[in-house]
Structure 1
Amino acid sequence: MNVIVVLATVLFISMTLIGGKKGVRSFISLFLNFGVLFFMLFFMMDPAVNPIVITFIASTLVGCIGLFFINKVNSKTVIAFISTMIVIGFLLFFIVFISEKLMIQGFGEEETEAIAGLSLYIGVDFMKIGASVIIISTIGAIMDVAISIASSMHEIFKHNPLISKKELVASGLSVGRDILGSDTNTLFFAFFGGYLALLLWFKDLSYSIGEIVNSKVFSSEMLLILCAGIGIALVIPIATWINAYYLIKTKERSEEL
Structure 2
Amino acid sequence: MSTNLVLAAILLILMIWVGGKKGARSFFALFLNFIMLLITVLLMTDPHINPIILTFIACTGISAINLFYINGVNQKTATAFMATMITIAVMLIFILIVTKKSMIQGFSEEELEEISIYSLHLGVDFVKIATSVIIMSTIGSITDVAISITSPMQEIFNHQPKIERRKLFLSGLTIGKDILGTNTNTLFFAFIGSYMGLLLWFRDLKYSVGAIANSKVFSDEMLTIFCAGIGIAAIIPIASWINASHLIKKRDKNTEQTTSGQI
The answer for unaligned runs of 5 or more in structure 2 is: 258-263
* 1:115 is the counterpart of 2:97: no
Residue matched to 1:215: 215
Q: Which amino acid aligns with 2:232?
A: I
1:112 & 1:60 partners in 2: Cα distance?
Answer: 34
Q: 1:18 offset after TM fit, Å?
A: 1.1
Counterpart residue identity of residue 177, structure 2: R
Separation in 1 of the partners of 2:21 and 2:79? 23
Structure 1 residue 80: deviation in Å? 0.3
Question: Secondary structure, in 3 states, of the residue corresponding to 1:14?
Answer: helix
Q: Deviations over 1:194-233 (max 9, x none)?
A: 0111111111111112111111111111110000000000
Aligned to 1:240: 240
Root mean square deviation, CA, Å: 1.1
* Alpha-carbon offset, residue 158 of structure 1: 0.2
Secondary structure in structure 2 of the residue aligned to 1:114: helix
State how 1:60-139 maps to structure 2 within 5 Å. Answer: 60-139=60-139
- The count of residues paired between Structure 1 and Structure 2 equals 257
Runs of 4+ in 1 over 3 A off after TM superposition: none
Q: Which runs of 5+ in 1 are unaligned?
A: none
Are positions 1:251 and 2:251 aligned together? yes
Q: For 1:35 and 1:170, locate their aligned partners in 2 and report how far apart those are by CA, in whole Å.
A: 38
Asked if residue 37 in structure 1 is aligned to residue 47 in structure 2, the reply is no
Task: Tell me by how many angstroms 1:66 deviates.
Answer: 0.6
Identity %: 59
CA-CA distance at 1:122 after TM superposition:
1.3
Task: List per-residue Cα deviations over 1:25-57 (Å, max 9, x = no partner).
Answer: 111111111111111111111111111111111
Residues in 1 aligned to 2:108 and 2:140: alpha-carbon distance in whole angstroms = 29
Cross-structure match for 2:261? none
Give the TM-score taking structure 2 as reference length.
0.95
After TM superposition, the score normalised by the length of structure 1 is 0.97
- 1:26 paired with 2:26, answer yes
Instruction: Please state if 1:193 is matched with 2:196.
Output: no
How far residue 106 of structure 1 moved from its aligned partner, in angstroms, is 2.5
Q: 1:105: Cα distance to partner?
A: 2.1
- What pairs up with 1:220-231 in 2 under 5 angstroms? 220-231=220-231
User: More displaced, 130-139 or 60-69?
Assistant: 130-139
Between 1:109-118 and 1:163-172, the stretch displaced more is 109-118
Please say which of residues 118-127 and 139-148 is displaced more in the overlay.
118-127
Q: Quick one: distance in 2 between partners of 1:13 and 1:214?
A: 45
1:189, 1:42 → 2: CA distance?
A: 29
2:162 aligned with 1:162, yes or no?
A: yes
Query: Could you report, residue by residue, the CA deviation over 1:58-81 in whole angstroms, capped at 9, with x for unpaired residues?
Result: 100001111111111111000000
Name the amino acid aligned to 2:221.
E
The one-letter amino acid paired with 1:75 is Q
C-alpha deviations, 1:80-110, integer Å up to 9, x for none?
0010111111111111110111112232222
